[in-house]
A and B are shown apart, each in its own frame.
Chain A
Amino acid sequence: MNEITLKKPVPKPLREVNVVITILARDITLFFKSPGMLIMSLGMPLIMMGMLGGSLSQNMAGGLGFDYNQYMLIGMLVNMLFMTTASGVSSLVEDHVTDFTQEMMISPISRYSIVIGKILGSSFGAIVGMLGTIIIGLFMGISLTIGQYLLIFLLAPLMCLSAGALAMIVIGLIKSNKMANMAVMLITMPQMFLSGAIIPINNSSGILYLLSRIMPMTYCLDLTRAVVYSGTSEYANVVLFNPLVSLFIIISLTIVFLVIGTFFFARSEKNR
């Protein structure tokens, strides 16, 4: 046996990018190998958009001053990105249980690359879920223009990164699958109801107002709606903040959550 001579090892500056792509690709591979994940990604929109959204639309949509169906569709698209990404990131706990995280932790790579790769990998399932939501919306007669869909797709990676970074803080502190699933529910469900995904929060007050303002999904939704409703008469009724403010808050929160989450994750793997 001879020493391996690599003709073209990955150049050092690109190494971390390659790591992120490798971890992302693993999640995509696992997604296609697991029929359950595919079914969940397409089944969730049926429940969220078709049943919950449909029921709200039929019973609560009157007198809002804007088209509730369109409002709810955008809310469900962002909510799907948040829920599925957070849920996907929680599979790091499963990797810990099966000792696969050891394989990543022993590699000469940045812990940030592991976390970012994992979040982006989980985003794939989220994008599939988003597509499912669009299809269910079409069946319900709710749609946006192609341009509006494209704008949402462009914003999707930022939304996923924000959701994944938030989930990492909790995941870094948890060591069992059961707890991880509960934690994901705890961070995504309140956001679905309090950040304006399906229920407008223009008139929120007190503690609910405070909670809505500290939830990252509030700003993700508002930025998405600001982009989609830009130049329309409904803009003032739908959008709460200046889009640049929302963008600044999303980026700031994502960076803070990413740093704290990665620290917790690396510490939990190494400190016992």
Chain B
Amino acid sequence: MEKMIHVENLVKQYDRAKTPSVKGINFDVKEGEFFAFLGPNGAGKTTTISILTTTLSKTSGNVTIAGSDIDKEAKHVRENVGIIFQQPSLDPQLSAEENIRFHACLYGMYTYRPTFKMMPKEYRKRVLELAEIIGIQDALFKPIKKLSGGMQRKFEIIRSLIHTPKILFLDEPTQGLDAVSRRGLWDYLNTVRRENGTTVFLTTHYIDEAEHVDRVCIINQGLIAFNGTPDLMKQNLLKQEVILDSDNRLALTNELTAMGMNHRVEDHVIVPYQDITAQEIIAKLKTKLTLLKMQEPTLEDAYIEYLLRTGGETV
């Protein structure tokens, strides 16, 4: 698969800052990959995303986006990316549709027309279709300033996708959205990704949103601290556990001790394991079980564990 994002020794030092915010980081993102870029506040996430989208200059290093150098071929880079900024960037005076029309015309998709009705049929169809998918068709012609934060976010998503970018940068896209809106948004983004093969670069503080990504990259204090699959991150950081119980709990704990299995008794008997499978543990047990539960560690558990181990701030 082609590398859609290539970052090599990227450094960014802000004016008047004593130390760089990004300290020589390296990573690649492949075509179609769903890539989560996580880290605590001030770790360098937004700085990195701003450089990758050509809105901020780098201090040094090499970055290519869809094969184009961000400095030498910035215009080509911009043609291939869509972005949802951390801070809303809609014009509050314009209507939602006017904001979308403005964007589509800036990207050269359509010749500007002063009203929605005068725009080409395919534009109108596309906008109405996208608005319906996200469930915001009623608000399409209302001024942005009269819409809730969640609605504004949804319109930003429509706007960022109207030119079908190869790479979609999402800088905390669901910030301020309620649970239902978040779910609706992710359902839609997953459909876009699946059907268009869009590469997605995500930063988020809702770690559960990164649970199903292809790869997780953690940045902390301007350095890459982890880069791999969510499963690898969990395996590296968390012990897996099986939760057991029995009417004869004493017999069960004695049996576990005899097997040399570490365990602790809380509400139930918790058996951590690492070099053995849960099935192997259960197969050896003779005591009749009344409870058998697998403790599935989440990415958030692994992420918090990582921050605790490295002394990083929690999100």
Contacts and interface: CB of A to CB of B under 8 A. Distances in A.
A27 to B, nearest CB: 11
A248 interface: no
Nearest to A98: B92
A237 B137 CA distance: 64
B235 interface: no
Given A1-B196, A107-B106, A108-B75, A271 B15 contact: yes
Contacts of B85: 99, 102
Interface of A: 1-4, 6-10, 12, 14-15, 18-19, 21-23, 25-26, 29-30, 33-34, 95, 98-100, 102-109, 269-272
Nearest to B76: A108
Contact of A272 (B15, B87, B143, B192): B15
B120 A7 contact: yes
B79 A108 contact: yes
Given A6-B110, A9-B109, A109-B75, 6 more contacts: A18-B108, A22-B106, A30-B91, A105-B54, A108-B79, A272-B56
Interface residues of B, number: 46
A18 B105 contact: yes
A47 B159 CA distance: 42
Contacts of A272: 14-15, 56
Contacts of B88: 99
Interface of B: 14-15, 53-57, 75-76, 78-79, 81, 83, 85, 87-94, 98, 102-103, 105-112, 114, 120, 122, 126, 133, 143, 162-164, 191-192, 195-196
Contact of B55 (A4, A23, A33, A102): A102
Contact of A1 (B55, B79, B108, B192): B192
Contacts of B162: 4
A26 B95 CA distance: 11
A106 B83 contact: yes
A128 B100 CA distance: 28
Contact of A25 (B15, B76, B114): B114
A25 B112 contact: yes
Nearest to B86: A99
Nearest to B106: A107
Contacts of A15: 108
Contact of B91 (A9, A14, A26, A105): A26
Contact of B102 (A2, A8, A26, A102): A26
Contacts of A34: 93
A6 B122 CA distance: 8
B89 A108 contact: no
29 contacts: A1-B133, A4-B122, A6-B109, A6-B110, A6-B122, A9-B108, A10-B105, A10-B110, A22-B112, A23-B106, A26-B91, A30-B93, A33-B93, A33-B94, A98-B89, A98-B91, A99-B87, A99-B89, A100-B91, A102-B85, A103-B103, A103-B106, A106-B54, A106-B55, A107-B103, A107-B106, A108-B79, A270-B55, A270-B57
B94 to A, nearest CB: 7
Nearest to A33: B93
Nearest to A107: B106
Nearest to A30: B93
Nearest to A113: B106
Contacts of B93: 30, 33-34
A6 B123 CA distance: 9
B243 to A, nearest CB: 42
Contacts of B102: 22, 26, 103
Contacts of B90: 100, 103
- 9 smallest CB-CB distances across A and B, nearest first, come from A108-B78, A22-B105, A107-B106, A108-B79, A15-B108, A99-B89, A10-B108, A22-B112, A102-B89
A6 B126 CA distance: 11
Contacts of B191: 1
B63 to A, nearest CB: 14
